[in-house]
C-alpha cells in the first residue's frame, strides 16, 4: 500500500503549468468512437482515469497510442460494443461510451458505473436523454443493455434532482450528433468540460450551437471525421493548487489557466483574504497571515464547484471564525469531515451542510482519502499540520492528479510517497 508522508511545510513558492482537464478528456476520448478516422488529443494528463478509459477503448477494438502528452486514437471499424465491469467499476465517467456506441453501432453493453464513493449518483438522466432519441434499455446482471433501430432528434429536458448533469449532457450530445434530424437539449450543463466536448465534436464535423448555455441545439449529420484537439486546462487542479498556496501562506504563479473557469473560486478565496492577481493566462496566488471565514455553497457552473468543496473545507478549518459549507450537488460528499476532525479540525455536519469552526492549528495524523477530492483535501491539510501526516487512499488521488506530491515538493513542500 502506498501513502504520502507530509511534514508541515513552509510557504510554497514557484511557477506551475496546469495539466489538461481530466473531466474534459474522458468524454472526448469516448467521442472518438463516433468516427472510423484517426483523432489526436493534446495536453492529456497522465492520470489513472485516462488509462482506464484507454483500456475500455482498446477492449472495444480501438487502437490507442500514447505519446508524451497526447493520445492518438484510431477506431477503424472497431468490432466491440461492450464495456466490461472490471474497468467500468473504477470510473463513473466510463458511462459516457454509451451514447457513442448507440449512435455508431446501434447497440451497447456497458456495466453500471463505479468511481468515487460520494453518495448515490444514478444514471437515470443519461437513460432519459438517450431514450428520448430512440434507444431502449434493460439491465441484466449489472449491465446496461442498450439498442436502437435508429436515433432521431427530439427535445429533451436533462434537469436532475441536484441540477444539470455534465456527463448526461455529454452522452446525449454525442448521440445526437449522428441522430437523424434536430435535437434540442434543455437544462443542459454549462460546465467548461461540456463546451470542450462540443468544440471537439464540431471539429469532427458535428453541427452544434448553444454549448455553454442551458439550451444546446444539434443538427444530426450522417458521418463524423477525425480531429485534432487540445484539452482545456484543469480548473480543479488549478483550484487545488490555489488552495495549496493559500493554506501555506505561499506565493504561486499558475500558468496556462482559464480565470473565467474559476470566477466563483477566485471570489471566495479573495473573500477569505487570499490575494489573487490575474495576468494574461496566469494567476498569482498569495496566502494571507490570517484567513477569514466564508460561507460556500456548491452549485453547477458558474457556481462554486463541488470538486473543490473538500479542499476549501481544509482551508477554512484554519480560518478565523465560523464558515458554513452547503453541498447542493452531492449531499453526501462529506466523508472527509471525520478525517479532518482527526487532524484537529472542528467541523460538524447536519444533512447537506457542514459548519466549520476555525482552529489555530492542525495536528498530523494517519488519515485515508475516501475519494479523489477528499484525498486532495487531506494532502492540503497535511501541508499545514504538525509534525507529520500520513495520507492513504492514493489510488483515488492518482485518478485525477498528475504527480501532485512531486509538484508540491518542487514548490517547497516536504512530502514524499512511500510503499508499505
Grid cell locating 5 = 508522508
Comparing CA positions, the residue from 213, 160, 162, 206 lying closest to residue 182 is: 206
Name the grid cell of 298: 456548491
Q: Return the number of other C-beta atoms located less than 10 Å from residue 279's C-beta.
A: 12
Residue range 74-95, pLDDT digits in tens: 999 999 888 888 888 777 778 8
Mean of per-residue pLDDT scores for the chain: 94
Alpha helices in 60-123 (DSSP H): 85-88, 98-105
Region 53-74: mean pLDDT is 95
pLDDT value at residue 142:
81
pLDDT (tens digit, 9 = 90+) per residue, 382-398? Answer: 999 999 999 999 999 99
> Residues, the chain, total?
420
Task: Please check the confidence at residue 100 and state whether its pLDDT lies above 70.
Answer: yes
Residue 138 class from Cβ within 10 Å (0-12 exposed, 13-18 middle, 19+ buried)? exposed
pLDDT for 1 beyond 90: no
* Confidence band for 18, pLDDT divided at 50, 70 and 90: very high
Classify each residue of 345-365 as buried b or exposed e, where b means 16 or more C-beta atoms within 10 Å of its C-beta: bebeeeebbbebebbeebebb
Give the residue numbers annotated as catalytic, written as ranges.
Answer: 116
Confidence tier at 122 by pLDDT (50, 70, 90)? low
Among candidate residues 52, 53, 58, 105, the one with its CA nearest the CA of residue 81: 105
- The alpha-helical segments, DSSP class H, found in 60-152 are 85-88, 98-105, 124-132
Q: Which three cell numbers stand for residue 311?
A: 479542499
pLDDT band at residue 119 using 50, 70 and 90 as cut-offs: very low
Q: Domains in the chain, please, with CATH?
A: 2-19+233-419 (3.65.10.10), 22-230 (3.65.10.10)
Contact 15, 253 (CB under 8 A): yes
Entry pTM = 0.95
> Per-residue confidence at 308, pLDDT binned at 50, 70, 90?
very high
% of the chain beyond a pLDDT of 70: 98
Mean pLDDT value across residues 357-374: 96
Per-residue pLDDT, 117: 46
Per-residue b or e along 78-101, where b marks 16 or more CB atoms closer than 10 Å to that residue's CB: bebbbbbbebbbbbbbbbbbbbbb
Span 213-227, average pLDDT: 98
pLDDT band with cut points at 50, 70 and 90 for residue 143: confident
Digit-coded pLDDT (tens) for 334-350:
999 999 999 999 999 99
Amino acid at each position: 500500500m502506498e501513502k504520502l508522508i507530509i511534514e508541515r511545510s513552509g510557504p510554497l513558492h514557484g511557477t506551475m503549468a496546469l495539466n489538461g482537464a481530466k473531466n474534459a478528456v474522458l468524454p472526448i476520448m469516448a467521442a472518438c468512437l463516433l468516427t472510423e478516422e484517426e483523432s489526436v488529443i493534446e495536453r492529456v494528463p497522465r492520470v489513472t482515469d485516462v488509462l482506464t478509459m484507454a483500456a475500455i477503448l482498446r477492449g472495444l477494438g480501438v487502437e490507442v497510442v500514447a505519446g508524451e502528452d497526447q493520445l492518438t486514437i484510431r477506431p477503424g471499424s472497431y468490432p466491440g460494443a461492450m464495456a466490461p465491469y472490471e474497468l467500468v467499476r473504477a470510473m463513473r465517467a466510463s458511462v459516457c461510451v454509451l451514447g457513442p456506441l448507440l449512435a455508431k453501432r446501434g447497440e451497447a453493453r456497458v456495466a453500471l458505473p463505479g468511481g468515487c464513493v460520494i453518495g448515490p449518483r444514478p444514471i437515470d438522466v443519461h437513460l432519459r436523454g438517450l431514450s428520448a432519441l430512440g434507444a431502449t434499455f434493460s439491465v441484466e446482471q449489472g449491465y446496461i443493455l442498450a439498442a436502437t433501430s435508429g436515433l432521431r432528434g427530439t427535445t429533451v429536458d436533462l434537469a436532475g434532482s441536484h441540477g444539470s448533469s455534465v456527463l448526461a449532457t455529454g452522452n446525449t450530445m454525442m448521440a445526437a450528433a449522428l441522430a437523424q434530424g434536430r435535437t434540442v437539449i434543455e437544462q443542459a450543463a454549462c460546465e467548461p468540460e461540456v463546451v470542450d466536448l462540443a468544440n471537439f465534436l464540431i471539429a469532427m464535423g458535428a453541427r452544434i450551437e448553444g454549448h455553454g448555455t442551458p439550451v444546446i441545439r444539434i443538427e444530426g449529420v450522417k458521418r463524423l471525421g477525425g480531429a485534432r484537439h487540445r484539452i482545456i486546462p484543469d480548473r480543479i487542479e488549478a483550484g487545488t493548487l490555489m488552495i495549496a498556496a493559500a493554506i501555506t501562506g505561499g506565493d504561486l504563479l499558475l500558468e496556462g489557466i482559464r480565470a473565467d473557469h474559476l470566477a466563483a473560486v477566485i471570489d471566495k478565496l479573495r473573500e477569505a483574504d487570499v490575494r489573487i492577481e490575474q495576468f494574461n493566462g496566469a494567476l498569482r496566488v498569495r496566502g494571507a497571515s490570517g484567513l477569514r471565514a466564508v460561507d460556500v455553497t456548491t452549485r453547477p457552473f458558474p457556481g462554486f464547484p463541488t470538486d473543490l468543496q473538500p479542499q476549501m473545507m481544509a482551508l477554512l478549518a484554519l480560518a478565523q471564525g465560523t464558515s458554513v459549507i452547503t453541498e447542493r450537488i452531492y449531499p453526501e460528499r462529506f466523508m472527509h469531515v471525520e478525517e479532518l476532525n482527526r487532524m484537529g479540525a472542528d467541523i460538524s455536519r447536519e444533512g447537506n451542510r457542514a459548519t466549520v469552526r476555525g482552529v489555530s492549528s492542525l495536528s498530523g495524523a494517519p488519515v485515508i482519502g475516501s475519494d479523489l477530492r477528499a484525498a486532495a483535501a487531506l494532502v492540503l491539510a497535511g501541508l499545514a499540520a504538525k509534525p507529520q501526516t500520513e495520507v492513504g487512499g492514493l489510488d483515488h488521488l492518482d485518478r485525477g492528479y498528475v504527480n501532485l506530491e512531486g509538484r508540491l515538493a518542487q514548490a517547497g513542500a516536504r512530502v514524499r510517497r512511500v510503499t508499505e
